[in-house]
Structure 1
Amino acid sequence: MSGKPANGTVKRWLDQVAIPYQGRECLLFPFSRLKSGHGRVSSRLGANTAHAYVALRVHGARPDGYEVCHDCGNPPCVNPRHLYWGTRAKNMDDRWRHGEMVLPPTKRGVENGNSVLTEDQARYAKARLKAGVSAPEIAERFGVPKQTIYNIKYGTTWAWL
């Protein structure tokens, strides 16, 4: 056996288990999932994800501009009581509230990838600015745009130095 459910098994489980489910706890989709954690279903069912299929069957057609939201914040959950149609903004708010969305760590200095100066060069530029040397002069010395040095001067970049 390939590990793939037999034809109709997923739909049968959704129709016979998920849709009539009355429990309060999450009901986790037991089959294939997307990287996001949402259950994967055949688009022939009218939806690409298990939770969208359940919402469609239980709550009716998706209103324009809306998507399926989870009250529980648990992507594999297909409990109809936990699903509702909401705007993209509402869904993103829910994801923040449930801790599903985390900002990546900020990269600063040479780790940033946009940096045109090394940390030592930025320290030198900052010291020269403090000594009264003009930003255009320092920029010319390093072969960078004046704005790069002004950004250091005003703390837009390299502010922690």
Structure 2
Amino acid sequence: MRSLMDRVLENVAIVPIAGCWIWLGATDQHGYGRIFLNGRPRRLHRAVYQEVKGAAKNSVCHTCDTPCCVNPYHLYDGTHHQNMQDREQRGRANKAIGKRNGRAKYTEEQINLMRQMRGSGISLKEIAAHFGKRNTGYFSLVINKKIRSSG
């Protein structure tokens, strides 16, 4: 039976400058390598980390921002908080707000109109009715920039 690292090395493309080991096998919906070990599916970067460095106490994180990279030297044991800070600092956070959010209810133009209407003294109830709604809670949040503060 082939070792985990033999299986990995047979199925990666090594990127010379970056040093990433790009997994060419199966990936999950987020781009992380998947492999079956002892009949159970695992995220490959976690399995590689464990094989080379031992069991992680926290999350196995990437220094290279490449989910399908399985180079053990690009992996580190970090807390969820550290991983989220790293994601934010590197600009990888999915800030799907405003028009970038596919489920946005209103366009930026409509949001601006709501704010102009409120600025000219129109009540929240009237603004909601203008947009075919009865509940004013969402409109209050948008107008007061609690949500949709930028697009």
Shorter-chain TM-score: which interval?
A: 0.5 to 0.7
Work out whether residues 125 and 134 of structure 2, in 8 Å CA contact, stay in contact via their aligned partners in 1: no
Offset of residue 92 of structure 1? 1.5
- Highest Rg: 1 or 2? 1
Which residue number corresponds to residue 60 of structure 1? Answer: 54
Offset of residue 99 of structure 1? 3.1
Q: How far apart in 2 are the matches of 1:41 and 1:97?
A: 30
Q: How far apart in 2 are the matches of 1:137 and 1:101?
A: 35
Q: How far apart in 1 are the matches of 2:77 and 2:65?
A: 14
Select the residue among 5, 14, 23 that pairs with 1:29: 23
User: TM-score, normalising length from structure 1?
Assistant: 0.58
Which residue number corresponds to residue 73 of structure 1? Answer: 65
Work out whether residues 51 and 68 of structure 1, in 8 Å CA contact, stay in contact via their aligned partners in 2: yes
Offset of residue 50 of structure 1? 1.0
Q: How far apart in 2 are the matches of 1:159 and 1:25?
A: 40
Which residue number corresponds to residue 34 of structure 2? Answer: 40
Q: How far apart in 1 are the matches of 2:118 and 2:83?
A: 45
Select the residue among 93, 98, 118 that pairs with 1:101: 93
Q: How far apart in 2 are the matches of 1:49 and 1:27?
A: 15
AA matched with 1:39: G
SS in 1 for 2:22: coil
Which residue number corresponds to residue 76 of structure 2? Answer: 84
Change (3 A) 1:105 1:58: same
Change (3 A) 1:46 1:148: closer
Change (3 A) 1:98 1:13: farther
Change (3 A) 1:49 1:31: same
Task: Select the structure that is richer in strand.
Answer: 2
Work out whether residues 25 and 34 of structure 2, in 8 Å CA contact, stay in contact via their aligned partners in 1: yes
Give unpaired runs (5+ residues) of structure 1. Answer: 1-6
Work out whether residues 4 and 48 of structure 2, in 8 Å CA contact, stay in contact via their aligned partners in 1: no
Change (3 A) 1:73 1:144: same
Q: How far apart in 1 are the matches of 2:69 and 2:138?
A: 49
AA matched with 1:56: Q
User: TM-score, normalising length from structure 2?
Assistant: 0.62
